A and B are shown apart, each in its own frame.
Chain A
Amino acid sequence: QVQLVESGGGLVKPGGSLRLSCAASGFTFSDYYMSWIRQAPGKGLEWVSYISSSGSTIYYADSVKGRFTISRDNAKNSLYLQMNSLRAEDTAVYYCARQEVGLVFDIWGQGTMVTVSS
């Protein structure tokens, strides 16, 4: 079945780094744009970044631009998010999502929690 599984979350100190991974299965990963979306505890959804199917087009939310880097490895059916210079306000559940035309997110992973705290 179509599935996305995130990993790599955890507790990190302010200013630290973390790399999230998302393993895709059940569909042709290389055909789809992919996004990272986050949700702070008790808050709403916030889109973070997306990457085109080939990796040639990338966009970031202003809140993470210059600190986060999205990438993908189509041979490994995997999506990544490198997070540097982490701040307390980056604390959230991070979801990877498959993206359809129109920035529609039709498949979501279960999420991985990132906590930034000293």
Chain B
Amino acid sequence: SSELTQDPAVSVALGQTVRITCQGDSLRSYYASWYQQKPGQAPVLVIYGKNNRPSGIPDRFSGSSSGNTASLTITGAQAEDEADYYCNSRDSSGNHAVFGGGTQLTVL
């Protein structure tokens, strides 16, 4: 079983704000990263570290963390944001990567 827990599915109205969360004990010590995956495509990194976006990622994507919970926020969700989102971090040993189970985001 995954050491990072995500809600399986979340929906948001077009243009509204949505928060996707990721819970795990290791998040008290390590930052989470977030990946977007559209059907038939490889994952794409959207947020890493405290709140960093790779080049080319829109600024409507942001990240935050509190205690054992990391969050990905999309402010003003667009139709093209409909995808699966995965968080990842280190496990409790610090030497292995671990992924959350993923959240399917639907934009209504």
A interface residue numbers (CB < 8 A to B): 35, 37, 44-47, 50, 59, 61, 95, 100, 102-106, 108-111
Specify which of B2, B37, B45, B98 is in contact with A104 (CB 8 Å cutoff). Answer: B45
CB of A105 within 8 A of CB of B45, answer: yes
CB of B97 within 8 A of CB of A108, answer: no
CB of B102 within 8 A of CB of A45, answer: yes
CB of A44 within 8 A of CB of B101, answer: yes
CB of A44 within 8 A of CB of B48, answer: no
Q: What residues of A have a CB within 8 angstroms of the CB of B102 in the complex?
A: 44-45
Q: What residues of B have a CB within 8 angstroms of the CB of A110 in the complex?
A: 42
Residue of A nearest to B2 (CB): A44
Residue of A nearest to B54 (CB): A106
CB of B49 within 8 A of CB of A45, answer: no
Q: 5 closest A-B pairs (Cβ-Cβ)?
A: A47-B97, A108-B42, A103-B97, A45-B99, A44-B102
| Distance in angstroms between the alpha carbons of A108 and B46 in the assembled complex | 13
Q: What residues of A have a CB within 8 angstroms of the CB of B37 in the complex?
A: 45
CB of B33 within 8 A of CB of A104, answer: yes
Chain B: interface size category: 20 to 34
| Distance in angstroms between the alpha carbons of A50 and B98 in the assembled complex | 12
CB of B33 within 8 A of CB of A105, answer: yes
Q: B61 interface residue, CB < 8 Å from A?
A: no
CB of A102 within 8 A of CB of B43, answer: no
CB of B100 within 8 A of CB of A111, answer: no
CB of B99 within 8 A of CB of A108, answer: no
CB of A35 within 8 A of CB of B97, answer: yes
Convert B1-41 into 0s and 1s, putting 1 for each residue whose CB lies closer than 8 angstroms to a CB of A.
01000000000000000000000000000110101010000
Q: What residues of A have a CB within 8 angstroms of the CB of B99 in the complex?
A: 37, 44-47
* Residue among B37, B49, B54, B88 with max Cβ neighbours from chain A (10 Å): B88
Q: What residues of B have a CB within 8 angstroms of the CB of A111 in the complex?
A: 42
Q: What residues of B have a CB within 8 angstroms of the CB of A35 in the complex?
A: 97
Q: What residues of A have a CB within 8 angstroms of the CB of B49 in the complex?
A: 102, 104
| Given A44-B86, A45-B88, A95-B42, CB of A105 within 8 Å of CB of B98 | no
